[in-house]
């Protein structure tokens, strides 16, 4: 089964190329493919726009000095991802190039995922400092019926008031390219049930995700929020994500999560411009206008920075600069080790 077009998730200060794509995962991260498919979890050097036989990349933030380290095996697969703040370590275990296990650790918390045939999650385990026995999740996947059942079992003593079982179920429809086009997610916890429905639209030629509509099953399950999110994605000729917008029509009174983001890339595939506007920015302007508090001549938009890079002989950037109003400031450095 082929995966849905990759929308990269691993983002660090020194890998800003994927800042836009990471934001695109606000609801995509809950999709069936991201829940259970190892191929969506495994990363290689191409996902980070790295050229050559890269063995390790060390990124250092130019202001905070926060550090991120990525380690790749001989096949170019990511095996370790460590960052200093927030402190975390993710390890990927492969056999013959196939992902078998993923372990994510932060202080006081460990999460482990085991994959079946290097493809589907079969079991997850989570432990915390206050719950040393942890919680386990067991996956039952029926490819023919296109369903997934996940049962979360708490290992805490039953004498506590905590409930032991949470049950999630997914029903989905795929197209001829095995991309999810419709998905229904139900979460049952004792007498409480919550559900969402999602619809995905793809480009028939490239397979890129073009639209995603996610909404509550509020009429059936009595939700008082009625989630209603509509995402739109745009790509350039090299299939890089350059535009993403969220039309937030959720029923609520106080705020909107809607936004529009855009990015431009240079010939190396690195982001040189990035911008974002939110619905709340526009909402504030409308309110000020209504109260006659908005100036007749609005202040000009703040200057937008762009990014410049210094590259090594392999075409990978090793220094990143922010250029704002003619001032060039180094904001990140990368130390790249190559295999002999």
CA atoms of 43 and 72, how far apart (whole Å): 9
Least confident of 33-42, 59-68, 216-225, 267-276: 216-225
Average the pLDDT over 33-38 and give the result: 65
201-218: average pLDDT: 87
d(CA 300, CA 89): 43
What tokens were used for 339?
A: 């295999």
- Condensed to tens digits (0 to 9), the pLDDT of residues 251-262 reads 765 666 788 888
Selection from 77, 79, 58, 54 nearest residue 69 by Cα: 58
Write down the pTM of the prediction.
0.75
**Residue with structure tokens 């290097």?**
118
| Phi, psi for residue 305 in degrees, rounded to 5 | -75, 160
Q: What is the pLDDT of residue 32?
A: 60
Write the pLDDT tens digit of every residue in 213-228.
Answer: 988 875 555 555 578 8
Q: Between the CA of residue 181 and those of 135, 192, 267, what are the distances in Å?
A: 31, 27, 33
Q: Is residue 164 scored above 80 in pLDDT?
A: no
pLDDT at position 6: 29
């Amino acid at each position: 089964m082929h995966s849905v077009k990759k929308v990269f998730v691993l983002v660090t200060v020194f890998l800003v190329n994927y800042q836009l794509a990471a934001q695109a995962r606000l609801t995509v991260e809950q999709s069936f493919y991201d829940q259970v498919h190892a191929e969506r979890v495994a990363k290689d050097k191409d996902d980070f726009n790295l050229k050559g036989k890269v063995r390790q990349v060390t990124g250092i933030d130019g202001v905070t000095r926060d550090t991120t380290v990525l380690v790749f095996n001989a096949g170019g697969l990511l095996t370790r991802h460590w960052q200093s703040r927030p402190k975390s370590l993710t390890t990927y275990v492969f056999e013959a190039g196939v992902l078998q296990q993923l372990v994510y650790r932060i202080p006081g918390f460990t999460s482990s995922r085991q994959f079946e045939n290097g493809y589907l999650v079969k079991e997850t385990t989570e432990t915390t400092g206050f719950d040393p026995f942890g919680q386990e999740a067991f996956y039952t996947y029926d490819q023919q019926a296109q369903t997934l059942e996940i049962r979360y079992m708490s290992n805490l003593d039953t004498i506590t008031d905590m409930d032991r079982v949470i049950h999630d179920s997914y029903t989905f429809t795929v197209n001829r390219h095995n991309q999810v086009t419709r998905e229904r997610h139900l979460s049952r916890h004792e007498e409480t049930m919550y559900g969402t429905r999602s619809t995905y639209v793809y480009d028939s030629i490239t397979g890129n995700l073009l639209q995603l509509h996610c909404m509550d099953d509020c009429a059936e399950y009595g939700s008082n929020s009625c989630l209603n999110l509509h995402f739109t994605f745009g790509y350039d000729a090299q299939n890089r994500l350059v535009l993403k917008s969220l039309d937030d029509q959720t029923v609520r009174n106080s705020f909107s999560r809607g936004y529009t983001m855009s990015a431009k890339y240079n010939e190396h595939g690195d982001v040189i411009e990035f911008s974002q506007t939110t619905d709340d920015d526009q909402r504030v302007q409308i309110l000020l206008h209504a109260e006659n508090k908005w100036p007749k001549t609005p202040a000009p938009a703040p200057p937008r920075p762009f990014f410049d890079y210094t590259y090594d002989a392999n075409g990978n950037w090793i220094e990143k600069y922010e250029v704002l109003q003619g001032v060039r400031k180094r904001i990140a450095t990368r130390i790249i080790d190559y295999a002999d």
